Structure 1
């Protein structure tokens, strides 16, 4: 196709946002045959199928998802242009950021917070999901950067690059009343203690299971939680002991009203930024990496980011 028909792109975008042609008809005030016909012409111009039918719903194909992300950006720019022409000012820099749901929320904030202090206005769109799905979005250019607690591997199926941000020891936290019961003879006193643990599919859980075995601790698992913020909320209510990076211990104590019992010796959480390019061009991505390496973890102030090609070669 030599030139995109933006009217067709707009119809596609509305259908994709609302999930069906009938829903798009109500928004666009057009008849169903009109929209169906325009979509067919657009797919023919693109040269591939953009939707896959599943019952009464239309799901985006892989190409459809990529086109949709570009359409989102195009029509977002259009709204900002209209806003600027009406005297509302221009746009700031935009970052589409993927954050793994296993990443501690306070740590995510610390990584992103430098962007919020920049002189130039920024727009940050955060998508939280499982790391595998975020890496798929990265390959389709749905996000510019993925923050996660494990590096991407060749199994992710995309050509991406890992940037090591830093690492932190892991501490054990508890609500004050519960902490009093498990302060003496640490860590042996933790045998049989109630614990709130991340789910078995996380890197931290695998390290914790090994730590329990080495220290001959049999925890009473009260709750297993994927979301790190929800886990801390349970912990603040006194439901059990929980683990989190020592790098944000002070903030955890302040925000959740809990105490630090001690450090799980030998357990370390590592954190990564994953990008689709080795050479970083997005200024906001560079800012996140530079600020993390300068002192977020207190141990990488002079070390450059480590970049590793983590996917199948192309």
Structure 2
């Protein structure tokens, strides 16, 4: 079994850069720290440090071990802070949001949790899906919201619940809409179009649908961040797309015109958790709110 005290000494030396500084920080003799790290290396038959001149540097194995040690001692610090704080009246609800999910959708999905009593406190973080799922696996997150279910190639235990789906709407400033006033979707022919980036599920579905409609717009911008795409659309840079469920909100917020909609291109949203049977009150509020209020299942 891993000796966590030895690992802590290794982590301290790696962070401070020397045995001497680590010994001052831990209030131990350099010999004690060096001896314990040597025992750790001998246990696994691997070198964690190497001498380069007078400097002590991490080996490749040491660098990999440091990543895990960082996570372990960060979680340990959080645990200690929680225990010292005593009983908590609030339940912390840690939500990870894939950066490709439109912010308006995220807000409306999370809104039911804000209507609960004061026992729930939300901690919301946006990142790439795979990094969020890695944190979900080690229980640093309670839930991940994504535009796709749990990827099958990841060796992570998780369960996907479909929150809902909706069609796609197309928007343009009044001036741009006037210049491309043909019936939809013919109006998209040769029109400047802003589309979701390569990391989104929607991109390939949209391009396939455009091919089926035999229209060829001019793609002038690609965006992983939907809010940035909408900002460019608001400026008149091109026609842009958003989920139909927030069409009225997009028109009101950005002062644009709805020029067409299609249900042949569906965008789906998922809640990914480590529980097959959901028990967390925050997750229950999100799933029930999505089905009853947002997507009207």
User: TM-score, with normalisation over the residues of structure 1?
Assistant: 0.75
Give 1:267's aligned residue: 265
Q: Displacement of 1:124 after TM fit?
A: 1.7
**Mapping 1:136-215, distance limit 5 Å:** 136-215=134-213
Count of residues in Structure 1 that have an aligned counterpart in Structure 2? 280
Q: Of 98, 103, 106, which residue of structure 1 is paired with 2:104?
A: 106
Pair member with larger Rg: 2
Q: Displacement of 1:31 after TM fit?
A: 7.5
Q: Of 21, 26, 29, which residue of structure 1 is paired with 2:16?
A: 21
CA RMSD of aligned residues (A): 3.8
Give 2:94's aligned residue: 96
Residues 1:70 and 2:75 aligned together: yes
144-153 vs 176-185, which deviates more?
176-185
Give 1:312's aligned residue: none
Counterpart CA distance in 2 for 1:37 and 1:293 is 57
**Mapping 1:126-145, distance limit 5 Å:** 126-145=124-143
Q: Report runs of 4+ in structure 1 exceeding 6 Å deviation.
A: 1-5, 31-36
256-265 vs 227-236, which deviates more?
256-265
Contact kept, 8 Å, 1:168 with 1:270, in 2: the verdict is: yes
Contact kept, 8 Å, 1:211 with 1:264, in 2: the verdict is: no
Give 1:310's aligned residue: none
Give 2:237's aligned residue: 239
User: TM-score, with normalisation over the residues of structure 2?
Assistant: 0.79
Counterpart CA distance in 2 for 1:297 and 1:272 is 12
Contact kept, 8 Å, 2:166 with 2:263, in 1: the verdict is: no
Please list every run of 5 or more consecutive structure 2 residues that lacks an aligned counterpart in the other structure: 50-57
**Mapping 1:219-298, distance limit 5 Å:** 219-298=217-296
